[in-house]
Amino acid sequence: MSAEQENHPLEDWQASVAAARLEKCPQSVIEMIPYASFIGAQAKIENDRLLYWLEKRPTNIGNPSLPALHGGVIGGFLELTAAVEIIYNLDIAAVPKVVDFSLDYLRAGRYKTVYAKCNVLRQGKKLINVTASAWQDDENTPIATARCHFLI
Amino acid sequence: MAFDMTMALFRPALKYAMEKNGHGKTLGLKMTEINRGEINLVFSYKEEVVGNPLTGVVHGGVIVSLLDTACGSAAMTVLNTPAVAPTMDLRLDYMHPAEPHKPIYVEAKVYRQTSNVIFCRGLAWQEDKENPIAHCVANFMKVDSKSINFSAIAVTQLRRLMPWGQRSSSEQEGGK
């Protein structure tokens, strides 16, 4: 979209983010990141919080005999949601840079939709700490939790 | 012990499983080396997996997938019978962003195993292995520690190889 056009990519990016916030449409922020459509990640606002989900796709399978979702896709999805949470909610100039990422796999990701929510635990001048949690049937039985540091 | 029978059977099956199925196929990764406790793979740059459209840098999630695949596969190679070793956790440090349009090389090694847990390390780099883009540690549960049974391995491998190539996506969707 406009963010990828030449001349003033950063200004275009910021304008697109501002427009998305104004329209309360996190989906258009997530669509600006090509990796999101590669795995099929989507976002919406529910009860004033961002809710992300990853629709089931054969291309996200890791173990075809179960079938189970690829652990890397769940990790990538959570890292993506953490970044989108920052881009959409916090007033920062550019795309945040991930410094480290820690992931706990709690249950196998079955071949169905995965949901995720994030929490920004701390926003410093340079560093942001975000946690993300992914679940399938019930928010209280997460399949994976992640913790992420971003530099801004 | 020059010829490792288990690995000779396991190597093509693992390569097939990782390269020709699901997310591994979608990413287009290639396993270049498969040895007991050690995996090397390579990923070629793709526009679709960009995480920062301003710079063209691939998304960190790709690095997570590559390292998870490599570490998980390395963990599988140390099991005596072919089984999946579920990931307990994975911790990744990004040393610097990957440069666009260049392949990413990944190496994973099992550095320790106990009766229940397999400990792995992984490294991702582009041109200089001494200057990696990311480093990870990942731990896996050992779900199978039975003694080696060659015929069982052969049968399992054949069973695994056969349906995977033919299985359609619609069939998988039915499995929920």
Q: Which residue has the tokens 């540690």?
A: B137
Contact call for A75 and B65, based on CB within 8 A: yes
- Model pLDDT for residues A62-99, shown as the tens digit of each residue: 877 778 899 999 999 999 999 999 999 998 878 889 99
Q: Is the pLDDT of residue A121 over 60?
A: yes
Q: What is the CATH number of domain A2-151?
A: 3.10.129.10
DSSP state of B66: H
Query: Of B45, B63, B24, which is closest to residue B99 (Cα–Cα)?
Result: B45
SS3 state of residue A91: coil
How crowded is the C-beta side of B11, counted as CA atoms within 13 Å?
14
- Residue B81 per-residue DSSP state: S
pLDDT digits (tens, 9 = 90+) for B12-63: 888 888 888 888 889 999 999 999 999 999 999 999 999 988 899 999 999 9
**Which of A8, A60, A79, A150 to probe by mutation at the B interface, max B CB count within 10 Å?**
A79
Instruction: Provide the ipTM.
Output: 0.88
Tokens 């997460």 belong to residue? A142
Domain ranges for chain B, please list them: 5-170
pLDDT of residue A37: 93
Burial of A59 (0-12, 13-18, 19+ CB in 10 A): middle
Q: What is the pLDDT of residues B121-159, one digit of tens each?
A: 999 999 999 999 999 999 999 875 454 444 555 666 666
Nearest CB to B54: which of A13, A56, A70? A13
Closest alpha carbon within chain B to A78: B61
End-to-end CA distance of chain A: give it in Å, rounded: 23
One DSSP character per residue, A99-135 reads EEEEEEE-S--BSS-EEEEEEEEEE-SSEEEEEEEEE
Angle made by CA atoms A75, A62, B84, in degrees to the nearest 5: 105
For the beta carbon of residue B17, count every other beta carbon within 10 angstroms: 25
Question: Per-residue pLDDT tens for B62-79?
Answer: 999 999 999 999 998 988
How does residue B111 score in pLDDT terms, banded at 50, 70 and 90?
very high
Confidence of residue B170 (pLDDT cuts 50, 70, 90): very low
pLDDT at A149: 95
Which helix (H) or strand (E) segment holds residue A141: the answer is none
- Asked if B69 and A111 come within 8 Å (Cβ–Cβ), the reply is no
What is the distance between the alpha carbons of residues B76 and B170, in angstroms, rounded to a whole number?
28
Q: Which residue of A has its CA nearest to B134?
A: A100
Residues forming a β-bridge with B120: B110, B138
Q: Between A75, A95, A105, which is nearest B52 by CB?
A: A95
Interface test with A, best of B25, B59, B167, B168 (most A CBs within 10 A): B59
CATH no. of B5-170 = 3.10.129.10
Does the pLDDT of residue B161 top 90, yes or no? no
Closest residue, chain B, to A98 (C-alpha):
B94
Contact A35 B58 (CB under 8 A): yes
A residues 39-78 lying closer than 8 A (beta carbon) to B? 39, 56, 58-67, 70-73, 75-77
Residues of chain B with Cβ-Cβ distance to A73 below 8 Å are 23, 61, 65
Q: What residues of A are in contact with residue B52 (Cβ under 8 Å)?
A: 33, 95
Predicted confidence at residue B144, as pLDDT, reads 57
Angle at Cα A35 formed by Cα A58 and Cα A94, nearest 5°?
A: 160
Q: What is the SS3 assignment for A14-58?
A: HHHHHHHHHCCCHHHHHCCCHHHHHHCEEEEEECCEEEEEECCCH
User: Is pLDDT of B165 > 50?
Assistant: no
What is the residue extent of each domain of chain A?
A: 2-151
Chains A, B: CB contacts within 8 A come to: 152
Rg of chain B in Å (alpha carbons): 17
Indicate yes or no: CB of B87 within 8 angstroms of CB of A10: no
More confident residue, B143 or A11: A11
Residues B60-74: b if buried by 16+ CB within 10 A, e if exposed: bbbbbbbbbbbbbbb
